[in-house]
């Protein structure tokens, strides 16, 4: 399963050729595609702000994805991972920790170009 992070979703919706190529490859391979619930919020806040066609496209795209909920267990893991990152001298936002912990919990590969996720221990990251 691939867990699509906000940067990937936004790039795809904006027509980025690398994101478009990668999503075609994943779909052709029959890969399960999902987003963490916080990613869905990030993507749709911007879409609601823009409105019109951008909002319609974002809603249509995200409706096709499996949404991975954030449970108390995932929130606790995100907090633990955040503490571990801080001990190593790196800061990762709470939202990114929740997204990373969600992907990790579901044994999903996180599709992103955001380097912060590579600092979260145990999160499998694929750049595009």
101-115 mean pLDDT: 97
pTM for this prediction: 0.93
pLDDT digits (tens, 9 = 90+) for 70-91: 999 999 999 999 999 999 998 8
Q: Where are the domains of the chain?
A: 2-126
2-126 CATH pick, 2.60.40.1510, 3.40.50.1010, 3.40.640.10, 3.40.50.150: 3.40.50.1010
Longest dimension (CA), the chain: 44
d(CA 7, CA 62): 14
pLDDT at 32: 97
First to last CA, the chain: 16
pLDDT at 90: 85
Q: CA-based angle 56:126:100, to the nearest 5?
A: 75
pLDDT at position 13 over 90: yes
At residue 90, what are phi and psi to the nearest 5 degrees?
-115, 140
Percent of the chain with pLDDT over 70: 100
């Amino acid at each position: 399963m691939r867990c699509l992070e906000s940067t990937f979703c936004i790039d795809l919706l904006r027509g980025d050729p690398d994101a478009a190529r990668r999503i075609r490859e994943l779909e052709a391979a029959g890969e399960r595609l999902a987003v963490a619930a916080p990613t869905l919020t990030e993507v749709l806040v911007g879409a609601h702000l823009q409105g019109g066609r951008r909002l319609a496209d974002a809603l249509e795209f995200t409706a096709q994805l499996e949404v991975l909920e954030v449970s108390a267990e995932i929130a606790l893991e995100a907090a633990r991972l955040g503490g571990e990152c801080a001990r190593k001298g790196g800061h990762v936002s709470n939202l990114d920790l929740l997204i990373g912990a969600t992907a990790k919990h579901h044994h999903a590969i996180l599709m992103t170009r955001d380097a912060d996720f590579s600092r979260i221990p145990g999160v499998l990251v694929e750049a595009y």
